[in-house]
Amino acid sequence: MTTNDRLPRFGYGTNGFANHRLSDALRVLADLGYEGVALTLDHHHLDPFAGNLPRRVAEIGALLDRLGLAVVVETGARFLLDPWRKHAPTLLDPDREHRIDFLSRAVRVTADLGAEAMSFWSGNKPPDLPDSLAWDHLVTGCAAVLDIAERHDVRLGFEPEPGMFVSDLASYDRLCTRLYSADRLGLTLDIGHCQCTEPLPVADCVRKAAPRLTYVQIDDMRRNVHEHLEFGAGEIDFPPVLAALAESGYGGLIAVELPRDSHRAPSLARDSIGFLRRAAGSADAP
């Protein structure tokens, strides 16, 4: 390789395998040649609120080891906490203690799995909540999660998400400056989010984010367009992005996230790994 002596480590999000048993999804991904998974804790995939959690975590951990799959834990289940409200409650809602409890459980699952990181986000701000109070709630919630992560030696990745309160790299930086100790709060970077929120070419966005980078999500291999991009706002040129990641020395997982395509998960996972390998080869070309 010309930019880095390590090959990219590609993973796939289990939220794109919602119609599969978790154990079956892991076997499919290992058979396709993925090196890791982004495991979204959900009612059907290692529910942290169901019984016998230590036994179930141990079983999945043993399967991951047998399959040679690394893992990052994701916390973006849509209706796990509230069957009526998507992604609710968030760290900004009046009942945010339920979110903090969930994230605390996720930290412990992350530690018990030996996962590389746990990823989470701010959520949407309630319309009647002043920004100043939203920041107070978010900082307090993140500090509680950081404290638990410190005790369990878990690395965190915070994801700026378009449309949420922390939506871009600037607001992520603002969060870090407000936390007493943000050393353990790394960055989850969704490549598509760079395309639709940053005033930079995507590869330059990656370089800017590199010092805090914990985990990378990469999207929609079929159209090269992230689902947040409206009206065909532009395509992502993946070889320069992968080259920028290699130049930065990033060695974590680069995980495909296609949560709306579970009905054809195996074929899309196959297409995605092929696309990414070709893109990585182009990135290495002199």
Q: Which residue has the higher pLDDT, 200 or 22?
A: 22
Full set of structural domains in the chain with CATH: 9-284 (3.20.20.150)
Say what the pTM is: 0.93
Specify burial of residue 44 (Cβ count, 10 A radius: 0-12, 13-18, 19+). middle
**pLDDT reading at 259 higher than 80:** yes
Of the candidates 113, 169, 189, 181, which has an alpha carbon nearest to the alpha carbon of residue 145?
A: 181
User: Would you say how long the chain is, in residues?
Assistant: 286
Residues 6+ apart with CB under 8 A from 54: 112
Q: What is the mean pLDDT of the chain?
A: 91
Stretch 98-113: mean pLDDT, rounded?
98
CA–CA gap between residue 184 and residue 153 (Å, rounded): 9
**pLDDT reading at 200 higher than 60:** yes
**pLDDT reading at 1 higher than 50:** no
CA–CA gap between residue 164 and residue 127 (Å, rounded): 12
CA–CA gap between residue 221 and residue 230 (Å, rounded): 16
Per-residue confidence (pLDDT) for residue 7, from 0 to 100: 82
Identity of residue 1: M
Residue 29 token pair: 């991904």
Stretch 144-150: mean pLDDT, rounded?
97
The model's confidence at residue 5, banded by pLDDT at 50, 70 and 90, is low
pLDDT digits (tens, 9 = 90+) for 27-40: 999 999 999 999 99
Residues 6+ apart with CB under 8 A from 29: 11, 12, 17, 37, 69, 269
